[in-house]
Amino acid sequence: MDSENLDPSMSNEGSTMLNAGFLKSVLPASARELIRNGLLRGSATSGMSQGFKQANIVILDKKFADDFEQFCLANSGPLPLLYRSKPGEWSSPPLSTSSDIRTDCPQYIKYERGNIAGNLSSLVEYTEQLKDMVTFYLGCSFSFESALLEADIPVRNIEQGRNISAFKTSIPCVSVGGFQCNMVVTMRPIPVEKLDAVVQVTHHMKDAHGAPVHIGHPGLIGIEDMLNPDFGDAVEAHRGDVPVFWPCGITASEAIRSCKSGLAFTHAPGCMFITDLQSEQEVASDFAADAEIPHVFCISQNPVHYSVASAAAVEKFKALDSLIQQDPGNRGIKHLLIEKQLLKACLSLSNAKSVLITTGFPTHFNNQPPEETDGPPGAIAIAAMLQAQKKNVVIVTDQRALEMNKKIIEEAVEQGRLKTPVPIVSFQDNGKDSALMFLCHDGDPQFPRFDHLIAIERAGMAADGNYYNARKVNIKHLVDPIDKLFLKAQDIPGISTTGIGDGGNELGMGKVKEAVKKYINNGDLIACDVEADFTVIAGVSNWGGYAVACGLYILNSCAIHERYLRKALGFPMTSEMVGYILALPTVQKEEKLLELLVKHGIRSGKTGNLGMEVDGLPFHDTHSSMIRQLLEITLGQAQST
């Protein structure tokens, strides 16, 4: 250690600050020596020995060690296990030379039967007890800070000379034995234009908690006050910053408290053990050709929420879009297209827990029933995949069509198209709070029943308050005001909406209404005025529904997205994939379902034919070919049925 690099004002008690530049570049062995000699007592190690890994520390009785190791393996996001010592082993041979865990953290916390019993600067006085205790070294996010700086990503807590902010969340860890707690996370404010880069840099650094597990509003993971962290210091965000959350090793402290494991020790928050292992220095450009490189997408502005998907998954969505955006009716839908709407809608749905679906376009006003065959198959395809992914699904429809739709759903279950019946409900506008009462428990916008609404081939309200089919016929007398649910959802935080259509007069197409008026036949009158957050345009609306089902499969088979969904807790849900595959649309399933609709008197939209066609296009070979091609993109292999 070069004493000339020390701050000359440093006192013998180590209570004064060392030169920040020195601490940044000091080698780990020297840093540990400074700590051992009391010169950095109580100091946060963020920014020290940049380029080297740091570790969280847990020390507990050997009789709890096996359970705690399993707890770490089951919750590898917050607790990436670097090394488990032998009982009474002070050193950590794989991680460092000349180290002593009794003295080499700036500060420790002592626990007695799960209760905090004080802070300690050294554990030497507990040497006898430590002979029967095991030390766990767990990865730390401080390890990737130098990689962030290398990639020109600001680390605000280092800029501000503060400890990292850490928060308790509402996210439960996987319990093992007596170890059960919610996850703790660290938060770093990241400029919005750097979100892709920060996820790409940390994605590969599994020993340092890996990629973030939440990006966006803290309330979505149970954090109420960002200015009062549970651990560490409050860190100020700059304009344009987004809160980004990583799993945190302080989770281990919460686990120790829950287990009440007699005598135990951990490092104090921010006061890590500095190892001799170099951090991975990969930056985003190093992975440009990696199919598993993550990308970040905004899926909600109220509250702000982002999700992630791999480059390979994004490419599949591009292929799905290109396929379903064919325009067999020559309606001019190319003018309505908005980039990445299918991807963002599916990302939002994948993060949702409860989804409301609506469909039904009574274009054949002189027939009974007046519905068309475009819409219900796509709605059922989405519902089937949402069911497979264990989400709550409800369908809302017109009161006059309620019983018919209930029968269709019952028969779809008998066919095996749906796993279980989907509840069918109606909505009536009985006053100014009707939509709010329908969407939220007790009409309280803080407790919505649904977090996503989907309209697929649903008649949409035009600017004059009427509902028109493509031939300019007003069908308002056949349509219940389900649009009002979508309008009210715009005011309720946490509810996102998707509209799927093929002509611009469907519910949710308000986002493209100016293009509908300009390019779609009769668009100046029929254009839907009600917009959705995501507008999925397809040559036939059913194709959009099939693509959503396929997209949900793609995302949940994407390791990057799947980890983000489960917050890096537990294990990959590979056992669920068979159920997801079985929920996908196939030619055989969709043919049987179309036969079912025809049996109920539902006609093709464009021609009014009561037969095996949708929008005037025959099921064989137009729609059957579309389904095969969608499955080929989704599963990566040719489909025969």
Which residues of the chain carry a pLDDT beneath 50?
1-16, 281-289
Question: Hunting for tokens 């890590």 — which residue is that?
Answer: 272
For 46-58, the pLDDT digits (tens) are 889 988 999 999 9
Could you give the C-alpha distances from 307 to 16, 188, 244, 516, in angstroms and in order?
A: 43, 17, 11, 30
Task: Tell me the DSSP string of 296-349.
Answer: EEEEEETTEEEEEEEHHHHHHHHHHHHHHT--TT---GGGG--TTHHHHHHHHH
The CA distance from 322 to 316, in Å, is 10
What's the start-to-end Cα distance of the chain, in Å? 71
Residue 212, helix vs strand vs coil: coil
The H or E element that residue 118 is part of is strand 115-120
Q: What interhelical angle do 311-324 and 541-556 show, nearest 10?
A: 170
The CA distance from 375 to 369, in Å, is 14
Within its chain, how far is the Cα of 256 from the centroid? 28
Return the pLDDT at 432. 84
Radius of gyration of the chain (CA): 29
The CA distance from 613 to 424, in Å, is 25
What count of Cα atoms within 13 Å lies in the side-chain half-sphere of residue 256? 29
The CA distance from 387 to 353, in Å, is 10
Beta strands at 392-397 and 424-426: parallel, antiparallel or unpaired: parallel
Longest CA pairwise span in the chain (Å): 94
- With b for 16 or more beta-carbon neighbours within 10 A and e for fewer, the 73-110 pattern comes to ebbbbbbbbbbbbeeebbbbeebbeebebbbbbbbbbb
The CA distance from 248 to 210, in Å, is 11
| Residues sharing a CB contact under 8 Å with residue 633, sequence separation 6 or more, in sequence order | 316, 319, 320, 323, 550
Q: Look at residues 617, 636, 627 and name the one whose alpha carbon lies nearest to residue 587.
A: 627
Report the DSSP beta bridge partners of residue 231. Answer: 166
Under DSSP, the state recorded for 506 is B
Q: Which amino acid appears at position 163 of this protein?
A: N
Return the pLDDT at 639. 61
How many CB atoms are closer than 10 A to CB 430? Answer: 9
How is residue 241 written in tokens?
């910053």
pTM (two decimals): 0.92
For 77-117, the pLDDT digits (tens) are 999 999 999 999 999 999 998 899 999 999 999 999 999 99
Question: Hunting for tokens 């996102």 — which residue is that?
Answer: 496
Return the pLDDT at 414. 97
The CA distance from 43 to 148, in Å, is 22
The H or E element that residue 457 is part of is strand 452-458
Q: Are 171 and 183 in contact (CB under 8 A)?
A: yes
Return the pLDDT at 284. 39
Long-range pairs for 424-427 at CB < 8 Å and ≥24 separation?
424/394, 424/395, 424/396, 424/397, 425/394, 425/395, 425/396, 425/397, 426/396, 426/397, 426/398, 426/399, 426/402, 426/480, 427/396, 427/480, 427/481, 427/482, 427/484, 427/485
Return the pLDDT at 289. 45
Q: Which amino acid appears at position 476 of this protein?
A: K
Under DSSP, the state recorded for 268 is P
Vertex 620, ends 614 and 624: CA angle to 5°? 85
